[in-house]
Amino acid sequence: MCNEPLRTSDFDYQLPPDRIAQEPAEPRDSARLMVLRRGERRIEHRIFRDLPELLSPGDLLVMNDTRVMAARLFGVREDTGGRVELLLVRPAGPRRWVVLMRPLRSARPGRRFRFEARGGPLGATVVERLPDEAVLEFDREVDPSAEGQVPLPPYIRRFRGDPERYQTVYAREARSAAAPTAGLHFTPELLERVRAAGIETAFVTLDVGPGTFRPVTSEDPRQHRLDVERVTVPASTAEAIARTKARGGRVVAVGTTVVRTLEHVALDCGEVKPYEGWTGLLILPGHRFRTIDALITNFHLPRSSLLMLVAAFAGREFVLEAYRIAVAEGYRFYSFGDAMLILP
């Protein structure tokens, strides 16, 4: 990281509430795509399905194949009948899960709860109260892919459609509390066109935690701490990246979760190798990117660590200029919104 002063307020912008997308584009690849060419400081306006024309044969798209858990459960305290809401965060042992609970004050060790679940009645006991979370032990195994409801970000208030629209078409194991939203724009047909154009695809896994929505509250963003998240880079992906670099192709990250995964592994190992571990990497302006050459991402919240990562990659002033243009041009923001492609 560089030593120049950084302020969280330097990553602020004004967004009218009606620019926050409440419904996804239909079909997925009909979303708008703002193209930023860093070298020329030039901006183009395209459609996401134009992606194969904007990349080159020999490039590599790297995507996060995590699936969002059906992690939201509703229930009651067994002693009083008071209602509670849970969000499964990560497993902590046999039948044990770290959870977010509302209200958290209900999470007293030994207290019993009963939840409505698709797999049948589900009882649980509080094992431990953490500063912002709790550890619960359930009476039976919990299936994170099917027990509850798929959680949507708090700024999506009106969506009543198919929960699969908050999953990527290539999602695999249910391990995340939120979607890697840059990938929501792909369709099977678009992926076929990408591969037919000579562009390779590969996958990593980063289990997105609820901390992705946590705002940066300190004025010095270096004081912000990201929740640690589990990451996996398979050998096939490490080999695909090495092949791409050797032939002069570009590694194109689909989303900030892919950036954080690959940059963490490159920092930890010196290069991208097969990897299984955890990351809490916070990428701020001044970061030297070791793997990523281009980035597909959505439009992010003001003052967020995600916006700071994008600014680190493309330059703060250029990114904020692009955001101002996006607001003026009617782009749709956040998880169900439009996309941005940042090229060299």
Asked if residue 4 has pLDDT above 80, the reply is: no
Q: CATH number of the domain at 72-138, please?
A: 2.40.10.240
How does pLDDT run across 103-143, given as a tens digit for each residue? 999 999 999 999 999 888 899 999 999 999 999 999 999 99
Going by the DSSP 8-state scheme, the letter that residue 58 receives in this structure is: T
Using CA atoms of 187, 170, 71, 25 in order, give the dihedral in degrees to the nearest 10.
-10
The stretch 12-25 carries a mean pLDDT of 96
CB-based contact 15:327 (threshold 8 Å): yes
Q: Say whether pLDDT at 170 is over 50.
A: yes
Query: Please, what is the average pLDDT of the chain?
Result: 95
Q: Reply yes or no on domain 8-68+157-343 having CATH 3.30.365.10.
A: no
Tell me: the pLDDT tens digits for 45-95? 999 999 999 999 999 999 999 999 999 999 999 999 999 999 999 999 999
* pLDDT above 60 for 2: no
Confidence of residue 5 (pLDDT cuts 50, 70, 90): confident
Q: What is the mean pLDDT of residues 227-254?
A: 97
What is the residue extent of each domain of the chain?
Answer: 8-68+157-343, 72-138
Which DSSP string corresponds to 166-233? GS-TT--SEEESS--GGGGG--HHHHHHHHHTT-EEEEEEE---GGGG----SSSGGG--PPPEEEEE
Give me the residue label for tokens 């592994």.
265
pLDDT given at position 3: 55
Q: Can you say whether the dihedral through the CA atoms of 325, 328, 333, 339 is positive or negative?
A: negative
